[in-house]
Chain A
Amino acid sequence: MNTRELTAQSMKVPQLIPGFSLWFRQLMAITRIEFVKALLSRRALSCYGLALIPVLLLTISGFQKNDEDLPVFETIENARQIYAYVYSTLILGGVIFLGSAAIFTSLFRGEILDRSIHYYVLTPVRREVLVTAKFLAGLASAFILFGLCAGICFLALYIPFGIEQIISDLSNGIAMQQLEQYLGLTLLACMGYGAVFMATGLLFRNPLIPVVVIAGWELIHFILPPALKVFSIIYYLKGLLPIPLDERPLAVLVAPPPVWISISGMLGLCLLALGVTIILLKRLEVRYTDE
């Protein structure tokens, strides 16, 4: 086929009419592409590694015995208490925080660093659609990875108690309810941290700086006065833990926010961060650093 024939053929290109159906198609296409990139690329290896840490820790602990040759998880209540601590500190404060930082920061910053963001900028996609699609892709991959991590860790508690205990606990409601709460918390955490890190990925040239600053702020949230606590994400998330935890020494004690405030606060933060990301993307100048 010669170029003339090809040019003639190109006249039959279907017209794309802007509107909800086009935006939806674009949203789905970008989400699919970014989901594969976030979950199945080399970039995702560090997140897999992070998610494996608590899984291995709780699985090994499940098989271990203490000095009196009894399981480390003495009773199922004791095991759930241990899980609440592990979830709050290691999974929420470590794995989900750092994993979300890695996944969501690289959604835009990763493409700026590997000098391919201009391919997106040159497409006829509303910036609102692009940001939403990338966020959904990041959220889906983060939730699959860290939700699985939280779920497998929860099931690992039952190693000393056997399969019958799992079936019984999951069917009588308590365990299932707690598991759902942990998964819901994981989703909210991925949304909150994810939206913030996606915005900071566009705002800061060095994405490590905001990660370190936010990590420091979240780490010291327990000694912050109540007026400042409300500006930390972990404050809202901890209020949703199924088993309340004792605060550390020196902690400034405040009542946890009501569930509806925690959830709507996280959703509000998420929307605000997405709005900021859209504005930043609209103002983005594609000029790679070594030019």
Chain B
Amino acid sequence: MNQPVVNQSEGVGDNIVLRDLSKFYGDVLGVNRINLKLEPGITGLVGPNGAGKSTLMNLIAGLNSPSRGSVEVLGVKPSRTEKFYSQLGYCTQYDSFPSGIDGYDFIRNTLLIHGYDKSAAEALTQQALQQVDLLKAANRPVDAYSKGMRQRIKLAQAICHTPQVLILDEPLNGLDPMARAQVIALFREFADAGNIVLISSQILHEVDLISDRVVLLNSGYLVAEGDLTHIQSETGEPMKIFIRSSHANDIASSVFGLEHVVEVQLHYDGEGLFVRSSDADAFFLALNGKVMAEGWHIESIGPADETVEAVYQHLIVEQQVAT
């Protein structure tokens, strides 16, 4: 799939813009020629281990400098330290903390270093700890926290200064289901307020659940990006459609003869069917005509493979198997 070319001036101020971004560690490729524009909302970053997700996040956050290309976050380059980091929060994959520090001081010190005065730092610390539900454990040493608590305190550290851009490397790791739901709601509200959230995760159904769009990386290359419908249509793969209807048998035999239908499969309960079509628009048009003519009742209809998992399966797993 062709990568989008990002124009010099295109919506730079509100977005994260990566231009021709590459990173090499000696001879080892981190990421190569990434052109990408990330808009407000939640973007899921997906790819197998070693795909370059953390490298890309580190480059965006300025922890690593690119071998080639450039990064701009809300129109600011990482070299402008003060402006850049005041608008960005990064929850890294590193599970390490300054030794001996407790949760409260960890957040408070971060805010004092940002330059907030004592009272503002304390108020923001309380707020961040409350947002990740760690107020009760705030005075315990971080070293004694469970994996999930450490994940949450890192998250608090990333959001405590209320940035406009949040970069989260595997933020759901180690969280129990309740905490997951809580932080996902937090990300949603953060994004709904017009901010940018970039989340990497190996848990595809969660990425699916929370992301407005996805970026797929494989072996350091950008494989696809955009919303799932767009990616799905770009892949050129026949679209899988699920139709729930009490006339499933009749519909199946009727659509089977259509030129662009490549597969029809009845659901095990006889009340639905899966159709694979190489031209979804033409299929829906033809189906409408038949439904009107025959008077079939359709309970529901929709794409069955518009999930990150399906896209990942097609664009990454199947490509790897093929090569």
Contacts and interface: CB of A to CB of B under 8 A. Distances in A.
Interface string A31-61: 0010001000110000000000000000000
A258 interface: no
Interface string A124-147: 111100000000000000000000
B186 interface: yes
Interface stretch (A114-122, A205-213, A249-257): A114-122
Contacts of A285: 63-65
Contacts of B92: 118
Contacts of B61: 122
A18 B62 CA distance: 20
Contacts of A14: 116-117, 120
A1 B81 contact: no
Contact of B161 (A13, A26, A119): A13
Interface string B50-67: 000000001001111100
B96 A16 contact: no
Can you list the 10 inter-chain pairs with the closest CB atoms, starting with the nearest? A115-B96, A124-B85, A29-B112, A286-B63, A10-B162, A124-B86, A124-B82, A22-B115, A16-B115, A18-B82
B113 interface: yes
A29 B94 CA distance: 24
Given A42-B100, A118-B63, A10 B86 contact: no
Contacts of A41: 99-100
B83 interface: yes
Given A14-B120, A115-B96, A29 B115 contact: yes
A16 B64 CA distance: 25
Interface centre among B25, B64, B97, B113 (most CB of A within 10 A): B113
Interface stretch (B123-131, B211-219, B257-265): B123-131
Given A3-B186, A118-B92, A123 B193 contact: no
A25 B96 contact: no
Given A122-B62, A285-B64, 20 more contacts: A13-B120, A13-B161, A13-B162, A14-B116, A25-B117, A26-B115, A30-B113, A33-B113, A41-B100, A42-B100, A111-B98, A116-B96, A118-B92, A122-B63, A122-B88, A123-B113, A124-B84, A126-B82, A286-B64, A287-B58
Contacts of A127: 81
Interface residues of B, number: 43
A41 to B, nearest CB: 6
Contact of A3 (B82, B100, B185): B185
A231 interface: no
B81 A126 contact: yes
B64 A287 contact: yes
A115 B61 CA distance: 17
A70 interface: no
A26 B113 CA distance: 5
Contacts of B85: 122-125
B81 A119 contact: no
Given A10-B127, A115-B96, A33 B109 contact: yes
Residue of B97, B157, B162 with most partner-chain A CB within 10 A: B162
A4 B189 contact: yes
Contacts of B97: 116
16 contacts: A3-B131, A10-B127, A13-B124, A13-B162, A14-B116, A25-B112, A29-B109, A29-B112, A33-B109, A114-B99, A115-B94, A122-B85, A122-B90, A123-B114, A124-B84, A125-B85
B188 to A, nearest CB: 9
B167 to A, nearest CB: 10
A124 B130 contact: no
A119 B157 contact: yes
A3 B189 contact: yes
A33 B82 CA distance: 20
A31 to B, nearest CB: 11
A124 B96 contact: no
Contacts of B130: 1, 6
B98 A119 contact: yes
A29 B113 contact: yes
Contacts of A122: 61-63, 85, 88, 90
B110 interface: yes
A278 to B, nearest CB: 12
A279 B112 CA distance: 24
Nearest to B121: A29
Contacts of B64: 285-287
A5 to B, nearest CB: 10
Contacts of A115: 94, 96
A41 B141 CA distance: 14
A7 B115 contact: no
B221 interface: no
B190 interface: yes
A288 interface: yes
A212 B88 CA distance: 41
A9 to B, nearest CB: 6
Contacts of B112: 25, 29, 33
A10 B64 CA distance: 29
A10 B97 CA distance: 25
A25 B63 contact: no
A1 B94 CA distance: 30
A217 to B, nearest CB: 32
B139 to A, nearest CB: 17
Contact of A123 (B63, B99, B110, B186): B110
A289 B8 CA distance: 36
